[in-house]
Amino acid sequence: MTTQVLGVSERSLRLAKQYIDAGDVVAFHTETVYGLGADARSDAAVKHIFELKGRPQNNPLIVHVHREFDITSLVDFIPPYAELLAKAYLPGPLTMVYPSSNKVSGLVSCGLNTLAVRVPSSETAQAFLRAVDIPIAAPSANLSKHISPVTAQHVFEDFSGRIPLILDGGKCEGGIESTVLDCTGETPLILRAGLVTQEMIASVAGSCGVYVPKEGEQPRSPGMAYKHYAPKCRTAFFSPEELERAKALYLEEEERGGVPCFFCEDALIRSLDGFRALDLGSSGEEMANRLYELLHRGEEEATLLIGICPKERGGVYEGVLNRLTRAFGG
Ligand code: TXA
Ligand code: MG
C-alpha cells in the first residue's frame, strides 16, 4: 500500500471518506498531535487501529467529532459543569469522559462504561470530521510507546505503507495531547494533564481535581500506566541541581565515541556553553509546542539524550512534566 500525504482539498476529503467508509484508517492533523482515525461504530475498524499501533487492548480510545455533532447521542449524561466547560474551551484540546450510551463499538472504551469525547479545533480535523460526519475513534498516530507525532512526516515514519492517507495540516501548534477530564463525578477530575489546565477548568467549573492513582490501583486513564513517548536512543534525566553530574555523563558518552545531547529549558542553555543542547524554550506553552518535535530530532541526532527537568510548576508545565518524565523514564 502506498501512503498518500495530502493537504485538505475536495479530493483528499472525498478520498478520506471513501477510506473511512471502507473500514480503513486515516491519519489527520489536530491542534495537539496527529490522530489515527477510523469509524468508531465498527468493531473491525477499531480493532485495526489497535493492531496498527501495537496498542495494549486495555487502553481505550478517544472519539472525535466535529463542532456541530450532537454529543448527547453518544453519552448518557452531561453534568452542568461540563456544559460550561464545553462552552468555554471547545472546540479545543480538552477531552471529556462521560457515561457512555454504547452507540459506538465496545472496543473503543475497552469495556469501560464511559466514553472519551473530543472536539478538536484544527481546521484540518474539522474538515475531515465534517466530511465523514460520524464519530471517529483516534489515538495519537504513533506506534505504541514511541514519541507522539506533531508533523505528517512523523506519522509517515511510523506508518508508511500501512495506512492509505495522511491529512497534512502542518505542524501541530499545541504539541502535547489533549487534557483528559473525567466528567462522570460531582466535580471534574483531570486524568491526563494538557493545554487546558487545572486552573482554567477550576475557573469555569468552580473546582477541579487531579487524579493520582493509588499504589497498586488500576489507573482511571489506563494510558497513563505505560512508559510512553520514548525516543529510540538512550536517555537520562536529572534535576537542575544535578547539572554537574549530568555534564560528567555527557563527557563520558563523548569519550566512548557517542553523541550526547542535552534537552532542557532555555534558562539553562547559557550554562551549557560548548555542549550540544536542544532548547525547549521558556514558557509552558513554548515547551509543549517544541517537546515532541525536539524528541524526534534528538533520537535522530544523538545516542544519549540528557533531559534536565524544568523548574516551574503549575499550568501547562504539569502536562509538559508528565510527558517529559515518561519520555525519559522518570
Ligand atoms: O490530543 C489528543 O488527545 C490526541 C489527538 C489525536 O486527539 N489523542 C490521543 O489519544 O492522545 P491517545 O489514545 O494517545 O490517548 C488517549 C488517552 C489515554 O490515556 C486513554 O487511557 C484515555 O485517553 N482514555 C480514553 N478513553 C478513556 C475513558 N473512557 N476513560 C478514561 N480514560 C480514557
Ligand atoms: Mg498516545
Say if CB 24 and CB 45 are below 8 A apart: yes
Tell me, what's the pLDDT at 226?
52
How far apart are the C-alpha atoms of 70 and 76, rounded to whole Å? 12
Say if CB 199 and CB 315 are below 8 A apart: yes
Farthest CA pair distance, the chain: 61
How far apart are the C-alpha atoms of 261 and 6, rounded to whole Å? 34
Tell me, what's the pLDDT at 283?
96
Q: Which residue carries 480510545 as its cell?
A: 61
Cis peptide before 120 (omega within 30 of 0): no
- Cross-strand pairs, 76: none
Residue nearest to atom 21 of ligand 1 (CA): 223
Report which DSSP code applies to 109: T
Report which DSSP code applies to 241: G
Tell me, what's the pLDDT at 228?
74
- Set out the domains of the chain in order of their start, with CATH numbers: 4-210 (3.90.870.10), 234-327 (3.40.50.11030)
Tell me, what's the pLDDT at 230?
85
Q: In this structure, how many other beta carbons lie within 10 angstroms of the beta carbon of residue 153?
A: 14
Tell me, what's the pLDDT at 214?
75
Read off the pLDDT of residues 191-227 as tens digits, 9 standing for 90 and up: 999 999 999 999 999 999 999 877 777 666 665 655 6
Read off the pLDDT of residues 300-323 as tens digits, 9 standing for 90 and up: 999 999 999 999 999 999 999 999
Say if CB 44 and CB 21 are below 8 A apart: no
- Cross-strand pairs, 286: none
CA 282 vs CA 112, 115, 151: distances in Å? 39, 35, 22
- Using 50 as the pLDDT threshold, list the residues of the chain that sit under it: none
Q: Is 115 in the pocket of ligand 1 (CB under 6 A)?
A: yes
The Å distance, Cα 170 to ligand 1 centre, comes to 22
Best residue for ligand 1 mutational test, from 95, 196, 226 (most atoms within 8 Å of Cβ): 95
**Nearest ligand to the CA atom of 60:** 1
Tell me, what's the pLDDT at 213?
79
Tell me, what's the pLDDT at 309?
96
